[in-house]
Amino acid sequence: MRDTILSVIIAINILCGVLVYFMPDMGNYILLTVASVVTLLAIYDAFIQKEHSLMRAFPVIARLRWVFEEEREKIQQYFIEDDLSGKPINREKRSIVYQRSKKEIETVPFGTQHNVYAKGYEFVKHSLFPKDHHHINGERVLIGSDKCKQKYNSSIINISAMSFGSLSKNAIMALNQGAKMGGFAHNTGEGGVSPYHLQGGDLIFQVGTGYFGAGKSVNGKRVFDAEVFKNNAVRPEVKMVEIKLSQGAKPGHGGILPAKKNTKEIAEIRSVEPFTRVDSPPGHDAFSNFDEMVTFIQQVRELSGGKPIGIKFCVGDNDEIEAMIKAFADANNYPDYIAVDGGEGGTGSAPLEFSNYIGTPLLEGLSFVNKMLKKYGLKDQIKIIASGKAIDAFDVIKYLALGADAIGMARSFMLSLGCIQARECNLDTCPVGVATQEKDLVKALVVKYKNIRVKNYHNKTISAIKEMVAAMGKESIEDIEPKHIFRRNTGGEITSLDEIYYVKEKVFIS
């Protein structure tokens, strides 16, 4: 095959030369130049380079493989996948975010595309006596235990953790301004509080294992520093503090900031070397057991002036999680909330094995944490914030039914900014300026237009939740329970989430 390809390419080159000889115009010279370049490339592929066997066997033509591989996901998304088959977020889900963000028509014609008789289909049952959705309440929740001095009246939907560095400065500004306009909170992510977070929106200051914005480097090791932390925690914009133990994208691994994204500005905020890959440690240096964790929680609570303190993790070993919650009960000291991340989470870069195979999915993790808090009598003190690819009102209602008090959304708010799911978050090449630090791409995201979309998406989703709750005949969002959500099982029967996640262990629930 190699000889055939070379013969054809050389023959075309000779023909172009003959054409130039008899018809020496500019177009033919260009044609000859292109043919000559292709011929030289074919010779290089076939005889000189030795790294790629496919190129040696199929010179020039084999290069098309890389072109198609490069464009494969775009071709898949735009021409092959249907509305329900796209991954990780299908087109139907993406479309509802875009429509609500831009206040476009969000109704669907001609019935559902879902197979309502398929295994796993989920739904709620409506009432013959629905309520007026304008009178439905429960869209806000008060977060703060009896150990907290500055309780926070939170929306049930907030922006989940995404750092400046992972996202661009324009994306961060648009998110924070949108949060201000819509009256909800914006989690800083573990990258610390940047100037772009200080746009007037409420902040959840996340403290990760790298202690960015909450610590310093000592002999090349990141350690917690009380003064550095306090300077950020007492800011009036900061309403809550979140200690991140792990996250759904890479549980037990620690955050990753690719070198391309680690600009001088970001490095200065994080107190690290610019243009180097920054890996946060997998665990905290400030504590190494549950007793020390309780002490640390109380320390940061006092340093912050009594603001709500939360811990965030993706559920791992169940016995370990139960032991932690028991330790909270025994010490009579505990966080004000627990943010439960699902193993399906993730907005940035993560090792494939961690993203795919480590961490409990949200539904199982959320219901387990809820059972443990009830078992040890702490559910009234410790609120639960659930995070795991929630997009529409049904997702929110399902998580609230399973025990969540509020929902953290990350990818859905990225979509509200204009994210097209290009999946280049770890390459610094995000084409819409959301997850990149490349200046020209960042400029493409115009803050004064995108912030409104962030607000619209939040407010329209809250309205959709109220409409669903009203259709179910409930007075308040708080009235939703796992017995109100149904799923078709393998045998085709309808089962409530209460039967799936709670009935077997009713002894835990008082």
- Assign 246 a pLDDT band (cuts: 50, 70, 90): confident
DSSP state of 506: G
The per-residue pLDDT for 351 is 78
**pLDDT tens, residue by residue, 73-121:** 888 888 888 888 888 888 999 999 999 999 999 888 888 999 999 999 9
Instruction: Compute how many other C-beta atoms are within 10 angstroms of the C-beta atom of residue 410.
Output: 27
Cα–Cα distance measured from residue 53 to residue 35, given in angstroms and rounded to the nearest whole number? 23
The per-residue pLDDT for 42 is 93
Cα–Cα distance measured from residue 9 to residue 28, given in angstroms and rounded to the nearest whole number? 16
Judged against a pLDDT cut of 60, whether residue 234 lies above it is answered with: yes
Report pTM. Answer: 0.88
Share of the chain above pLDDT 90, in %: 70
Judged against a pLDDT cut of 70, whether residue 450 lies above it is answered with: yes
pLDDT, averaged across the chain: 91
Judged against a pLDDT cut of 50, whether residue 12 lies above it is answered with: yes
What does the pLDDT average to over 439-463?
96
Judged against a pLDDT cut of 60, whether residue 459 lies above it is answered with: yes
The per-residue pLDDT for 505 is 56
- Chain centre to alpha carbon of residue 358: 16
**pLDDT tens, residue by residue, 280-293:** 888 899 999 999 99
Judged against a pLDDT cut of 80, whether residue 276 lies above it is answered with: yes
The per-residue pLDDT for 510 is 40
Q: What angle do CA 498, 503, 506 make, to 5 degrees?
A: 120
77 vs 138: which has the higher pLDDT:
138
What does the pLDDT average to over 244-261?
79
Q: Which of 137, 152, 143 is nearest to 183 (CA)?
A: 152
The per-residue pLDDT for 82 is 85
**pLDDT tens, residue by residue, 140-179:** 999 999 999 999 999 999 999 999 988 999 999 999 999 9
The per-residue pLDDT for 250 is 74
**pLDDT tens, residue by residue, 326-358:** 999 999 999 999 999 988 766 666 777 887 888
Q: Which whole-number Å values give the CA distances from 365 to 75, 124, 247, 418, in the listed order?
A: 35, 22, 12, 30
The per-residue pLDDT for 424 is 86
Two tokens, residue 447: 């803050």
